[in-house]
Amino acid sequence: MTSQLNVDTIVDKAGSGGSNVKMANTSTYVSDGGSATQNTVQGLCKAFVVYGEDTVIDAGSFNMASLTDSATGQTHQNFTNSFVGAESYTVAISCIPGTDVAERPRLSSCLAAKTITQNEEVDTSTDRDADQFHFSAHGDLA
């Protein structure tokens, strides 16, 4: 029999803390407009990090084991939990450039366990560390 639980708010058992919910990967939710139902777990952000030019995490991270500064403007984002495969996820990247410098972040490589990104100065096409780099990954975890 299909089960359904109707709730307004989900909190942990104590009722005062966070939402410590373990969710099966087949869980679904009713859409914002109420007309569709789709998978909850596939809609979750699986990793994010915000870091500065020194590759030190500025504003928190999630599912990020470490960052590797492999060259000027080049960073490895090493996941704690890997994705199913190299083609099983997508990323969103952006940067805050240095003063009076136009920069563009780009994807260098995607692997199941890590992503490699580069940040490039537009005028010279040379790699350059961004003042701040924003990264998120979305897809199917292993």
Partner 1 sequence: MASQLKVDTITGLTTAGSISVTGEGNSTTTNLQQGLLKAWANTTADGTTLQDSFNISSLGDTATGKQAFNFTNAMTNAAFSGSATNGDSTNPDGLFFANVSTSRVDGESLQFDNGAFGDNPQRIVVAGDLA
Q: By CB under 8 A, name the binding residues for partner 1.
A: 2-13, 16-19, 21-22, 24, 26-40, 42-45, 84, 87-94, 104, 106-110, 118, 120, 122, 125, 136, 138-140
Distance CA(141)–CA(120), nearest Å, equals 29
Q: Min. distance of Cβ 137 from partner 1 in angstroms?
A: 9
Question: Of the two residues 31 and 72, which places its CB atom closer to partner 1 in the complex?
Answer: 31
Question: Of the two residues 43 and 100, which places its CB atom closer to partner 1 in the complex?
Answer: 43
Q: Rounded to whole angstroms, what are the CA distances from 125 to 115, 118, 122, 142?
A: 21, 11, 5, 36
Q: Min. distance of Cβ 18 from partner 1 in angstroms?
A: 5
Is there a contact between 117 and 107 (Cβ–Cβ < 8 Å)? yes
Is there a contact between 39 and 26 (Cβ–Cβ < 8 Å)? yes
Q: Min. distance of Cβ 61 from partner 1 in angstroms?
A: 12
